[in-house]
Structure 1
Amino acid sequence: MKTNRRNFLKVSTAAGGGLVLGFNWLQACNPASRQVSDAVFHPNAFLKIAADGWVTLQAPNPEIGQGVKTALPLIVAEELDVDWAMVKVEQAKLDTENYQRQVAGGSGSVRHGWEALRQAGATAREMLKQAAAKEWKVSPDECTTEKGEVVHTASGKRMPYGELVEKAVALPVPENPPLKDVKDFHLLGTRIPNVDNPKIVTGKMDYGMDTKREGMLIAVVARPPAFGQKLKSFDDTETKKLPGVKQVVSFDDKVAVLGTSTWEVMKGRDALKIEWTEDDPRETSSEHQKAFEALLKNNSEKPKRDDGKVEEVFKKGNRLIEGTYEAPFLAHNTMEPMNFFADVKENHVELYGPTQLPAHSRKVVSEALEIPEEKIEVGMTRMGGGFGRRLDIAFVVEAAKVSQLAKAPVKVVWTREDDMTGGYYRPAGMYKYRAALKDERLVGWHLQASAINSGNGTRENNFPAGAVQNFRVDYHKLESPITTGPWRAPNHNFIAFSEESFVDEIAHSLKKDPVAFRLELLEDAKQQPIGEVQYDPDRYKAVVQKAAEMAGWGTKALPEGVYQGFAAHYSFSTYVAQVAEVSVQQGKINVHKVYCAVDCGIVVNLSGAETQIEGGIMDGLGHALYGELTFKNGKAQANNFHQYQLMRIPDAPEIEVAFLQNNENPTGLGEPGLPPIPAAVANAVFAATGKRIRKLPFRKSGLA
């Protein structure tokens, strides 16, 4: 049933008795109602209030650690005015008939669902008030709600929601239920533990790797060892001699070994004798660097943005500065490697496991197997990390194809080495900046950028666009067989480092305080905007000022050898500014503390919000310090953590986060904490040493 005004909200009595409210998580519509006796009802998403007062909420979005399984139901509970202790949350399966956005990506779950979730809770609350008022023979206006009860203000009478369920079902649904004033929130903005915490800390949480089914086989897949190679032939004679190996199947230049235990099939894969083609082009990271340099010698045919007369201002004898910044490939390194379960039968397919794109997974599997989508069921597990890696669905398709070929239920498991050498990656890139300075002002800005396979790697409408009279962005995409894709804060994760580092360079060249210089540019964007400005200069300024205030920028006496660096960035509709306190000792960068100011609108769950910002800072810092994956002849040169360094506990700084208070709708939080931190640290290193870091990771900066 597709969503429309009439089926946006449906009220029914469920099999166990109760009030069920189905609602669309993306679009607020005028609701209608119907009564269903004992029918099983699958709403777009649903709120069930049982006769015992318990509230059950379906969580439709995949949970990858970003906290939406807690945050989305919390929004409904706030408007419903229910006691959070009386709420149960269940993970929904894929249901495109009733959910429109079952996606984990783009920091979008809360901001896309905000209005509809509030309306669902408010509608239920108003119906319960009407039911109580009818029982008490008073006006609903004389009633309020509090923690799962309707209260008659004058008499003090109270009635629990559970006692009102059957009465509420028969009532008309209000067209436009009033939403709470922000000042009346009692759940949102507080600290609410993650609903899965008890299972996580006791080891009872089910992840994809925990999936077990009767008759299930485990499969590992031999994939081309280098990008650009293909399967030529294979001999599985020795593999089939192993007692735990049941089948060997090949598909799409891959060979899968299936059996009853992970260890046996891994040994079986090792026993395969495979010949791979050697005649396809295979690339090396040094070749990419040369290609970037060649591309950046010229402008693109069509600029991504072109304000004013950039070339003219660079030829007028103005003072010029330039800097070229480089970023390597990065692996995602989720704690839980890729895995997925599939059971392909003639009339039904079950897919089950950790994916950030369940609907797209079903679509692509449908096309690959030539099986109609309506015959494919997709269930979602909690994920041991995503970071964009599980937006790729090759591992889902693998499981489906192997199951179809083997005619058995199959769980495909990737090892860490499989994922690091044959997954997909944050693309490498090179960005060349030029600035023209006149009369102590920035009058020209030119970015020439290039990255591997990345179609929109410049964020050309972000700050300082709109603040500079002459502003141009050119982009060159470098095609490569190396698979690339979203990595936490796609594009932003490198553009913020290069852009904010260069802004700092300009400020120092002008002999201006880096914070004051940013505020000056933001004021220009507000008072005299050039072209389109897609950010709010006032909100941007507010986080810049708050972070500087938190850190005592320019006023606090720092310990000897400790220096501060500043950076700010706008991503996923959220404004973030950071100050890093850093020392450099014998070439080693030590980050002691990070101050972070965030404007994400209304904070839904303070605990979850802090966790996301802190996690983003740690992730961004660790990869800035150490992260790098290189390729030689198409083969990744690291296959596990002994070759791919991550940040360790002793590297972790103290982090202080402040959220600016306002009544704006919530915006993204899963990614915006990451982009500014590399630049904040690099700018602090410059303050400490006078040396600019223009190449990631920092461990190769030659500070020693």
Structure 2
Amino acid sequence: MKTTSTSRRDFLKVAATVSGGLWLGFNWQTADANALPLTALDAAGLADAPHNFNSFISIGTDGLITIFSPNPEVGQGIKTAFPMVVADELDADWARVRVEQAPLDTKRFERQAAGGSQSLRHSWTRLRQAGATARQMLVETAAARWNVPASECTTDKAVVFHKASNRKVSYGELATDAAKRPVPTNVTLKTPKQFTIIGKNMPNVDNKEILTGKPIYGIDFYREGMLFAMVQRPPAFGLKLKSVDAAAAKAMPGVTDIVTLKNGVAVVGKNTWAVKKAREKLKVEWEKINPDAPLDSTEGFDRQFKELLDKPGTVRRKDGDPDAAFASAARIIKAEYQCPMLAHSPLEPMNFFAHVRPDGVELVGSTQTPERARNDVAKLLGVAPETVSVNMTRMGGGFGRRLQADFAVEAAEVSSLVKAPVKVIWTREDDMNGGSYRPACRYRFEAALDKDNNLIGYKLRGVGVNVANSTREDNFPAGAVPNLLIDSHDVKSPVTTWAWRAPITNFLAFAEQAFLDEVAAAAGKDPIQFRLDLFAKAKSSPTGAVKYEVDRMEAVTRLVAEKSNWGKNPSVKQGFSVYFSHNSYVAQVAEVVQKNGKPVLQKIHAAADCGVVVSRSGALQQMKGGVVDGLGHALYGKLTLKDGAAEQRNFDAFRLIRMNEVPDVEVYFVENEKDPSGLGEPALPPTGAAVANAMFKATGTRLYNQPFAEQPGSPWKQNM
């Protein structure tokens, strides 16, 4: 399977050179996939396709099948999963399928973004419908050629068969005639039991390019004649540019220009090294945006968090009478949990190419939200968004950072000032100090038990930096507790915070699930049975809305308990966690054993219900990657601020998990026929609690704050 990067114009040129063949366009903007309007076009007519057709399946006379894919590839495997869905319904020969990356086209595509683990969930039925429609047209064409009923024909690997007469014909041979047939308005989709490609292990379509170093990432992009730029940004949040002396920098070899931006200074030149060395020669003065306000620091946030947790916040959900429940409780359990800011730290630092011309603007690079990049650039330059084109490259990581567009806007601003094509590149230090961080948060939990150790009351108060709501008030155990109160506070700051992989839940899940374990222990109940009892209450006698599927949450809980032999080996200390996020359910059991007198995290079992698994090998890697990412940041992740500046500027200070610290990870999937849901993020949130709960069983020490390595009694402390 081959993949290439091309523009839509190039794609149409290729189409026009194909002799005959079937081109099937389908409308990605249709909300009801069952009413999906489809039109068959021959190659000669493709360039004149109706404007409401904006993505195309092609079947060439040579049998090559192509899908023009709109979603950004950030490592989640969507360029593999999308064509797998189409190819399965089409009964294609997988070896003859390829996918082309689409540029931004808001008239033809819907939701051209990579975020929230929603790409496949959003496109699942549309892709199936398109593949099944093309298959039916090919079958009808073959049946007419043979003068037999279409119902007697079957398909396999891009070939139509009529077994009764022992005849067969390839899709490529049928494609031109099929293009002339009317498009069926109703087609039958396969049942999951009929899938032949979906659910199988398939290598990522970009594997060869990745392993052989082909230029497929944004940082690889090069255009003959382009310039390179690096920007000197404020060294701390809350500062603005006061003055700049660029004389020494301008005299450096390879420098072509130095321009002042809205809040920074860009050094432009012939190569990255030249502009990096010249930037070091800049003499820049900065001043406070608010002269009377101190620059924010981690210590200052901590003080505000503690103060606000003692004050009622904005109520997010209230069920029953929490005050009465706590007043009558036989026992009350309280705990607080806190997490620091985190940098996204993708392997590929921020970069983007821009060419601002009188007739339009061209943008090329790694972005999770190409439409945002286009609109923000258009606003900056005062031009119509339609004059801005965005071509997407593969991303070397994003984790939410590339949902923003500041780096694209920066490139466009520099290009507009120097009147030339420019590529802006950030260093790792730029990325760490000028990023948009996972917001620091603090939570207070309270639980009320009656005399029979039943959970009768539950309170959660959250506070975070630039987080309007630091809770997920409708997540479990909401609905399973008769009296519940959840509220929150927001601390405003000039420090930029943003979505970080599995926003909010990346830490909240740890706090919630660690607290529920502590409550289960106080009630004298097994942690898993304690949750199963709550699930039963949410089903039989729910309080308020239950916005998660209890049966699915229970299913992953029972699956991971079975696979991990929960509680059956006294020498293995186990910790449990279960969480619902991004429409998927993940339960985990972490295992700690004693080695040389020390507790060692040996294994993590992870069970997921994400509906139909499309690319099994891809799903497996998403699960394992999420677990390892969640573990590493729970153990070591920390970014602190002093006087508005990050104290960790590179990986020597921003500690990541190391390969020898990664435990064995076993993954299991609940097999069902539900539509696919998210998987890029859901495996991360439950990990911290499963590990912390297991470590408590092994050491008797509960972990309340992250990173774990900084907590007293932590077995990872010496590794920080």
TM-score category, normalised to shorter length: over 0.9
Residue of structure 1 equivalent to 2:497 = 484
The equivalent residue for 1:3 is none
1:31 to 30, 37, 62: 37
Matched residue, 2:370: 358
Following TM superposition, by how much is the alpha carbon of 1:584 offset from its aligned partner in structure 2, in angstroms? Answer: 7.0
CA distance in 1, matches of 2:377, 2:327: 55
Separation in structure 1 between the aligned mates of residue 383 and residue 440 of structure 2, nearest angstrom: 37
Aligned to 1:148: 158
In the alignment, the residues of structure 1 paired with residue 38 and residue 658 of structure 2 have an alpha-carbon distance, to the nearest angstrom, of: 54
1:441 aligns with 2:451: no
Distance 1:456 1:230, change over 3 A: same
User: Is 1:337–1:415's contact at 8 Å kept on the other side of the alignment?
Assistant: yes
1:501-542 Cα offsets, whole Å, 9 max, x none, are: 001000000010001101110111011111100111111101
Partner of 1:194: 204
Q: What CA distance in whole angstroms lies between the structure 2 residues aligned with 1:326 and 1:234?
A: 40
Q: Assess if the C-alpha contact under 8 Å between 2:435 and 2:496 holds in 1.
A: yes
Equivalent position to 1:177, from 187, 202, 205: 187
Q: CA deviation at 1:417?
A: 0.3
Question: Over aligned residues, Cα RMSD in angstroms?
Answer: 1.6
Contact 1:578 1:596 in 2 (8 A): yes
Of 527, 542, 562, which aligns to 2:555?
A: 542
Rounded to whole Å, the distance in 2 between the matches of 1:35 and 1:176 is: 18
- Indicate whether 1:215 and 2:225 are aligned: yes
How many angstroms does 1:313 deviate by? 1.1
Query: Does structure 2 retain, via aligned residues, the 8 Å contact 1:57–1:73?
Result: yes
1:530 to 537, 543, 559: 543
Q: Counterpart of 2:136?
A: 126
Q: Is the 8 A contact 1:13 1:169 kept in 2?
A: no
Percent sequence identity over aligned pairs: 50
Instruction: Name the structure 2 match of 1:139.
Output: 149
- Find the partner of 1:310 among 322, 341, 346: 322
In 2, are the aligned partners of 1:587 and 1:703 still within 8 Å (CA)? no
- What SS is found at the alignment partner of 2:603? strand
Kept after mapping to 1: 8 A contact 2:234/2:263: yes
Report the 3-state secondary structure (helix = DSSP H, G, I; strand = E; otherwise coil) of the residue aligned with 1:401: helix
Q: Residues 556 and 24 (structure 1 numbering): CA distance in 2 closer, same or farther, change over 3 Å?
A: farther
Give the residue type in structure 2 aligned to 1:22. Answer: G
In structure 2, the CA distance between the partners of 1:635 and 1:588, relative to structure 1 (3 Å rule), is farther
Aligned to 2:432: 420
Residue 380 of structure 1: aligned partner: 392
Residue in 1 that maps onto 2:647:
637
- 2:664 — aligned with what? 654
Q: Determine helix, strand or coil for the equivalent of 1:72.
A: helix
Give the corresponding residue for 2:697: 687
Is the contact made by 2:23 and 2:46 (CA closer than 8 Å) also made in structure 1? no
Q: Distance in 1 between matches of 2:598 and 2:24?
A: 57
SS at match of 1:154: coil
**Matches of residues 84-103 of structure 1 in structure 2 within 5 Å?**
84-103=94-113
Measure how far apart 1:493 and its partner are: 0.3
**CA displacement, residues 61-113 of structure 1 (integer Å, 9 cap, x when unaligned):** 00010000110111111101101101011111111111111100000000000
Tell me if the contact between 1:445 and 1:470 (Cα under 8 Å) persists in the aligned partners: yes
Q: Once the two structures are superposed, what CA deviation does each residue of 1:29-68 show, in whole Å capped at 9, x if it has no partner?
A: 3424254525425742111100010101112100010000
Tell me what 1:407 maps to.
Answer: 419
* Cα distance between partner residues in 2 of 1:531 and 1:587: 48
Shift of 1:457: 2.1
2:45 and 2:208 mapped to 1: Cα distance? 33
Q: Identify the range of structure 1 (381-390 vs 148-157) with the bigger mean alpha-carbon deviation.
A: 148-157
Matched letter for residue 433 of structure 1: F
User: What amino acid sits opposite 2:250 in the alignment?
Assistant: K
Q: How far 1:255 sits from its partner (Å)? A: 0.3
Match in the other structure for 1:286: 299
Map residues 520-669 of structure 1 onto 2, 5 A cutoff: 520-558=533-571, 562-583=572-593, 590-669=600-679
Aligned AA (1:202) = T
Deviation sequence 1:615-635 (CA, Å, 0-9, x none): 000100000000000001101
Helix, strand or coil for the counterpart of 1:268?
helix
**1:469-490 Cα distance to aligned partner (Å, 9 max, x none):** 0011001111111100000000
Match of 1:498 in 2: 511
Amino acid paired to 2:23: V
In the alignment, which residue of structure 1 is the partner of 2:522? 509
Q: 1:293 to 1:670 in 2, by over 3 A?
A: same
Counterpart in the other structure of 1:321: 333
Q: Name which of structure 1's ranges 150-159 and 384-393 shifts more when overlaid on structure 2.
A: 150-159
Match of 1:71 in 2: 81
2:718 corresponding residue in structure 1: none
Equivalent position SS for 2:677: coil
Deviation of the 1:605 alpha carbon: 0.4
Letter in 2 for 1:40: A
On the 8 A contact 2:329/2:449 being kept in 1, the answer is no
Contact 1:588 1:703 in 2 (8 A): no
Runs of at least 5 residues in structure 2 that lack an aligned partner in the other structure: 1-11, 715-720
What does the per-residue CA deviation read over 1:627-651, in whole Å, with 9 as the maximum and x for residues that have no partner? 0000011010000001110000000
Report deviation, 1:263. 0.8
Amino acid of the structure 1 residue aligned with 2:200: T
SS of residue in 2 equivalent to 1:417: helix
**Higher alpha-carbon deviation: 242-251 or 575-584:** 575-584
**Contact kept? 1:21, 1:47, Cα under 8 Å:** yes
Find the residue that maps to 1:155 and give its secondary structure.
coil
Task: Say if 2:474 and 2:547, in contact at 8 Å, map to a contact too.
Answer: yes
What is the rounded CA distance, in whole Å, between the counterparts of 2:97 and 2:475 in structure 1?
Answer: 41
Change in CA separation of 1:533 and 1:41 when aligned onto 2, cut-off 3 Å: farther
Partner residue, 2:7: none
Cα distance in 1 for partners of 2:27, 2:126 equals: 6
Report if aligned partners of 1:47, 1:56 keep a CA contact under 8 Å in 2.
Answer: yes
CA contact (8 A) 1:596 1:657 kept: yes
How many angstroms apart in 2 are the aligned matches of 1:617 and 1:79? 32
Q: Which runs of 5+ in 1 are unaligned?
A: 1-9
| Conservation of the 8 A alpha-carbon contact between 2:353 and 2:365 | yes
1:226 to 225, 236, 239: 236
Matched residue, 2:25: 22
CA contact (8 A) 1:363 1:373 kept: yes
**Which has the higher mean CA deviation after the structures are superposed, 134-143 or 587-596?**
587-596
Cα gap change, 1:41/1:290 in structure 2, threshold over 3 Å: closer, same or farther? farther
Q: 1:297 aligns with which of 310, 323, 327?
A: 310
Structure 1 residue 206: Cα displacement: 1.6
Match of 2:709 among 682, 699, 703: 699
Matched residue of 2:533: which SS? helix
CA distance in 2, matches of 1:383, 1:699: 31
The answer to whether the 8 A contact 1:14-1:20 is kept is no
TM-score by length of 1: 0.96
Deviation at 1:205, TM superposition (A): 4.1
- Residue identity in the other structure for 1:273: K
Whole-angstrom CA distance in 2 between matches of 1:328 and 1:587: 31
Once the two structures are superposed, the pairs formed by residues 251-290 of structure 1 within 5 Å of their partners are 251-278=261-288, 279=291, 281-290=294-303
Instruction: List per-residue Cα deviations over 1:634-670 (Å, max 9, x = no partner).
Output: 0100000011100000001111001010000000000
Does the CA-based 8 Å contact 1:15-1:40 persist in structure 2? no
Match of 1:7 in 2: none
